[in-house]
Amino acid sequence: ELGQTRRGEQYSILDSMLRLVAPCRAKMAVTARFMATKVSVANVKELRKLTALPMKLCREALQQGNDDVQAAMAWLENNEEARAQRAEGKLAGRETAQGRIEVSVQGSAAALLQINCETDFVARNDEFEQLMTSGSQQLATHLQSVPSSTNLVELTAEELEAVVAGDSTLGAVTKATMATVGENVQLARGAGFHQEGAAFGSYIHAPNGAFGALILATGARGDATTLLNQIAQHVVAMDPTASTPDTTVQTLLETPYVFDTSVTVQQLIEKSAQPSLKLENVLRWER
């Protein structure tokens, strides 16, 4: 019985080792296949001439097609990166006068994202709206990695393109959307806040998403979202934006509340269930 127990333990250990080794063997097999496929320089040049795609992508296609140009072309037809590259080459430079602004609040961060396109029709279609929704969420998640502060965080064009989007980037996903909708689609700007313990309010003006606002506040007691959303809506309507964040907040507080001009925004806060609420920063965008 003791021998049987030991043999059972040995089989169990061996089975575990095999499970660990199997993925490595599969990866080695794929690597070996690529190494075994020698890609000719002439075919790379020909494929680049036919497709105008980057050399790296042409080499990969030829490896997949066993160094056959026609097989590589067929592989590229179903490759998302290739489709995005071709669409960008055809559509880049065309005017993007339409688009949307979207907002997302994720935990201790909130973001505004603007993406532009050519027509209002595309700005309202499902693929573009999905890009806006997921993109703003990914941007807000990205902002959680920056230092906590009441200051506005504005991303450069390069930083915005590099925002992680699943197993890709926001820039790559945007380019892929160009191939889907058949229009030039461009990341316009991205910004937001990250402040631990803060409360946020937001508003996007429907139905075209041409205006958006974010409010960052501290000192909230419980959920202050409804009140802050109302103030964000007021910000879109009245635009208190001034030369500095402090001046903008002060201007906002002194402004008669757009939906009840008998009180200022400061008095609206004082009369609410959030008397200790302090507005720290405001962001308003107009597309």
Which residues are paired to 68 by β-bridges? none
Residue 23, both tokens: 């993925």
| pLDDT tens profile 25-54 | 544 444 444 445 687 888 878 877 776 666
More confident residue, 102 or 56: 102
Cβ 283 vs Cβ 152: under 8 Å: yes
21 pLDDT above the threshold of 70: no
Q: What's the rounded mean pLDDT across residues 71-84?
A: 70
**Using CB atoms within 10 A of its CB, is residue 206 exposed (0-12), middle (13-18) or buried (19+)?**
exposed
Whole-structure pTM value: 0.72
pLDDT of residue 88: 62
19 pLDDT above the threshold of 80: no
Q: What's the rounded mean pLDDT across residues 234-249?
A: 96
- What stretches of the chain adopt beta strand conformation (E)? 98-106, 109-117, 149-154, 164-165, 168-169, 186-194, 199-204, 211-218, 256-257, 260-264, 278-286
pLDDT of residue 87: 59
Average pLDDT, the chain: 85
Closest by CA to 157, choosing from 132, 134, 183, 190, is 190
Q: CA 135, CA 175: separation in Å to the nearest integer? A: 13
Cβ 118 vs Cβ 95: under 8 Å: yes
Q: What's the rounded mean pLDDT across residues 62-67?
A: 81
| pLDDT tens profile 149-163 | 999 999 999 999 999
Instruction: Give the largest Cα separation in the chain, rounded.
Output: 90
Q: What's the rounded mean pLDDT across residues 69-85?
A: 71
56 pLDDT above the threshold of 90: no
Q: CA 114, CA 109: separation in Å to the nearest integer? A: 17
Q: How remote is the C-alpha of 19 from its chain's centroid?
A: 36
Which residues are paired to 213 by β-bridges? 203, 284
